[in-house]
Amino acid sequence: MSTNAKQSVGKNIKYPWWYGGAAGIFATMVTHPLDLSKVRLQAAPMPRPTLFRMLKSILANEGVMGLYAGLSAAILRQCTYTMVRFGAYDFLKENVVPQEQVANMAYLLPCSMFSGAIGGLAGNFADVVNIRMQNDSALEPAKRRNYKNAIDGVYKIYRYEGGFKTLFTGWKPNIIRGVLMTASQVVTYDVFKNYLITKMDFDASKNYTHLTASLLAGLVATTVCSPADVMKTRIMNSSGDPQPALKILADALRTEGPSFMFRGWLPSFTRLGPFTILIFFAIEQLKKHRVGMPKEDK
């Protein structure tokens, strides 16, 4: 094994559990306009505009601040969904997976699926608010919710719009998406990174290694998660009592065909690709500089 490869299988350092959430907030701050456009496209009626036309329309009608509609809810989502799924995955990888099996998908996949499920459930309420706030300006004035921020949105949904039942709207597809996203994102990143280091002699400490692995992980994650992402958006954005997921799926298949499951793939990747690159880049930087770790661990 090369010197670079050995770097990837060294001491099993236990990093702080909040690294994933902190990195997620950083990535969200940069990519939020793209996520906003993706949500608007997925919820828009036919015929749908392109990603860049949607961005242009938001900028023209709502100004620069309109590109950051719902940012507080997006950050809240990172503090719940992303922090839980990354934290749980790292905890399981550090404490359950044998050190010599840290690149074995047979161990990593069950850990990622469990982590994604509890992350999807923990962040569901923030996801509901996030999607509603991002899509609010696209609705007719009479149908807008006009949440001031994420906390106001959570309060109004709980107080006036159905309570916990509404806050957990779409929890089933959200858990499925959480499982798919975590398995296809963090596992593929670990596997691609390990392959680049051990088979292609990439340097484990270099940014180009992390960027290459995260780009490949973003491609896989976007494709795997697209159907669940589209379903989640449509269910959470609905008003009143949400329709069953199977009915929404059947109606969409009948009226739009199977291709609806990959509606917005390009804008999804345009957002998820940079997001995946940024979140793993930020995590690697946090690990490199041992941020928040005791001095004796540095």
pLDDT of residue 240: 61
Q: Has residue 44 got a pLDDT over 70? A: yes
Q: Has residue 241 got a pLDDT over 70? A: no
Average pLDDT of the residues of the chain? 85
Options 3.40.1410.10, 3.40.640.10, 1.25.40.10, 1.50.40.10; CATH of 3-291: 1.50.40.10
Question: Which H or E element spans position 255?
Answer: helix 245-256
| Residue 2's pLDDT band (cuts 50, 70, 90) | very low
Please state the pTM of the whole predicted model: 0.80
| Residue 6's pLDDT band (cuts 50, 70, 90) | very low
pLDDT of residue 238: 67
pLDDT of residue 73: 93
Copy the structure tokens of residue 65.
């601040």
Are the beta carbons of 119 and 173 closer than 8 angstroms?
no
| Poorest-pLDDT segment among 16-25, 43-52, 98-107, 167-176 | 43-52
pLDDT of residue 7: 45
Burial 14-28 (b: 16+ CB within 10 A, else e): ebbbbbbbbbbbbbb
**Residues 126-142: tens digit of each pLDDT:** 999 998 998 888 788 88
pLDDT of residue 114: 97
| Residue 203's pLDDT band (cuts 50, 70, 90) | very high
